[in-house]
Amino acid sequence: MTVNAQSAARLWLERIHALPQQGRVKIMNVCGGHERSITMAGLRKALPDYIELVPGPGCPVCICPEEDVFEAIQLALNEDVIMVAFGDMLRVPVNVQKTQARTMEQAKAQGADIRPIASPTEAVHIAEQNPDKPVVFFAAGFETTTAPVAAMMVEGVPDNLSVLLSGRLTWPAVAMLLESGSPGFDALIAPGHVATVMGPEEWEFVLDKHNIPAAVAGFNPESLLAAMYSTLRQLNEGRYFLDNCYPELVRPGGNRSAQAHLSKAMNIIDANWRGVGVIPASGYMLDQAYSDHDARKLFPSYADDARKRAGEMPPGCDCAQVVLGKIYPNECRLFGKACVPRNPIGPCMVSDEGACRIWWAGGMRESVATHTAEKAVG
C-alpha cells in the first residue's frame, strides 16, 4: 500500500470511529476479493467493536454444483478429451468412494488429460494446438468470469472446443437471503468487479425492495473503508442510497459490450448452488445457437444420482453456511482440524476466494465450532 493509500485508509477509519455508535451492525460483502483484502489488511480489528464484517456468497468455486464437478471428472476419465479448467477447480472435492477420483487433480493423476488455465484464450489456444482431439472447457464462475466465456463464443471458437458451463449470477443469492426474512446483515458491500461488468444499478434492489443501505467497493482498504463509512452513515441518517465507492472502474450501465456478449451467448436459468439449493434465475446456460459447442449435448451424461451425498457438501462440512454468512469460517466443525489448505475437505478451503482459505491464510486459525451460528453472526 502506498503512503497516499495508507493516509486515505487511515482517514476513512477515523471517520468511521467518529460516527455515533449504534447497536451491533453487520455488514456483508459478497466478493472473495473483498474478504481477502479485509482479512489481510486486518480491518476487522481496526474497526469499532460494534461493527461485524460478514463474508457472504462471493466464491464461485465454493458454490459450483458438486454434480458439475463430478461430471467434469468423469468426462475427463471416460472420454478421449483434453479437459481444461480454471486452476482452483482442479482441487474441488466431490463425494465418491475412496477408490475413485475425488478431484480433477486426482483424475489427472489417474491418467486423464486435465490442464489448468487462467483465461478462455488459453482454452482456444489448446484447441488450436490439438485440432484432432476434443477439448472441453469446464467454465465455472460468476459474471466476471462468464462474460469472457460468452465473448469467446460470440467471436468464434475452433470446431473441437466445447464448453461445460457452470456459470452463476451473484445478485440472486443476495436476493434470496433478503427475501428469507433473516438475511443476517444490516448493510451490503457490493462487488466492484461484478458492477464493472453488469453496472452498479443491478444492486439497487437492495435499497428499493429491502430498505438496506449498499455501496459498491473496489479491492483496496481505502475503497472498502469508504464503502463501510457510507453504509454506516446511511444507517445513522436513515437516508439510504446506492453509493459508488469504486468510480475508477465502475460506470453507470456497466460494460455494454460484455453484457451484449452475455445476452447473445447465454440464457439465464434457475440453477443449483452447492449446499444451498436451486436459486431462481441465478445460472447461465449456452444459447441454442451454440449447441454445437455445448459439452452437455456433445457427450453422454455421467450423472449418478445414486451416489451417496450427490450434490451435497462433504460430511461434516459447513461450507454452505459459511457461504450464506450464517456462520464464520472458524465455526465450521472441520475448520483447522480435518480441513486445512493442504488437505481441503470442503470447497471453501480450496479456493483463494473461499472464506475458509482466506481466514487460514490470514492467521485466523482458531476453531470456535462450539459457538452457534446465531451467537456469531445471526
Global pTM?
0.93
- Here the CATH number for the domain that contains residue 11 is 3.40.50.11750
Mean pLDDT value of segment 134-142: 98
DSSP category for residue 271: E
Residue 281 is assigned to a structural domain of this protein: no
**Looking at residues 108-133, what average pLDDT do you find?**
98
Query: Is residue 275, in this structure, part of any structural domain at all?
Result: no
Is residue 214 a part of any domain in this protein?
Answer: yes
In a domain, 326, yes or no: yes
Helices 32-40 + 221-237 axis angle, to 10: 100
- Structural domain includes residue 23: yes
pLDDT digits (tens, 9 = 90+) for 346-367: 999 999 999 999 999 999 988 7
Indicate the helix (H) or strand (E) that contains 373.
helix 373-376
Give, rounded to a whole angstrom, the gap between the first and last alpha carbons of the chain.
34
90 lies in the same domain as 156: yes
Q: In sequence order, what are the residues at sequence separation of 6 or more whose Cβ sits closer than 8 angstroms to the Cβ of residue 306?
A: none
CA angle 269, 169, 155 (to 5 degrees): 80
88-114: b (≥16 Cβ within 10 Å) or e: bbbbbbbbbeeebbbbbbbbbeeebbb
Tell me if 288 is assigned to some domain: no
Q: Are 10 and 106 found together in one domain?
A: no
Give one DSSP letter per residue of 75-133, joined into a string. HHHHSS-EEEEEGGGGG------TTS--SHHHHHHTT-EEEEESSHHHHHHHHHH-TTS
Tell me what percent of the residues of the chain surpass a pLDDT of 90.
Answer: 91
pLDDT tens, 190-235? 999 999 999 999 999 999 999 999 999 999 999 999 999 999 999 9
Give the number of C-alpha atoms closer than 13 A to the C-alpha of residue 42, restricted to the C-beta side: 4
Say whether both 68 and 159 belong to one domain.
yes
Residue 271 lies in a domain: no
pLDDT of 236: 95
CATH of the domain at 106: 3.40.50.11740
Degrees (nearest 5) of the Cα angle 31, 35, 37?
115
Q: Does residue 130 carry a pLDDT above 90?
A: yes
Name every residue whose Cβ is closer than 8 Å to that of residue 123 and which is 6 or more positions away in sequence: 84, 117, 135, 137, 152, 161
47/164 same-domain check: no
Task: Indicate the pLDDT class of residue 374, thresholds 50, 70 and 90.
Answer: very low
Contacts of 223 (CB under 8 A, 6+ apart): 192, 217, 245, 246
Query: Residue 112 belongs to what domain range?
Result: 62-169+257-266
What burial class does residue 295 get, using C-beta atoms within 10 Å of its C-beta: 0-12 exposed, 13-18 middle, 19+ buried?
buried
Domain identity same for 75 and 163: yes
Do 88 and 133 share a domain, yes or no?
yes
What's the DSSP call for residue 299?
S
**Interior CA angle at 92 toward 314 and 347, to 5°?**
60
- Domain co-membership, 155 together with 180: no
Helix (H) and strand (E) counts in the chain: 17, 11
Q: Report the domain count for the chain.
A: 3
pLDDT at 3: 63
- The pLDDT, as a whole number, for residue 375 is 39
Number of C-beta neighbours around residue 234 at 10 A: 20
Q: How far is the C-alpha of 317 from the C-alpha of 66, rounded, in Å? A: 13
Q: 139 pairs with which residues across the strands?
A: 165
DSSP letter assigned to residue 51: E
Residue 250 lies in a domain: no
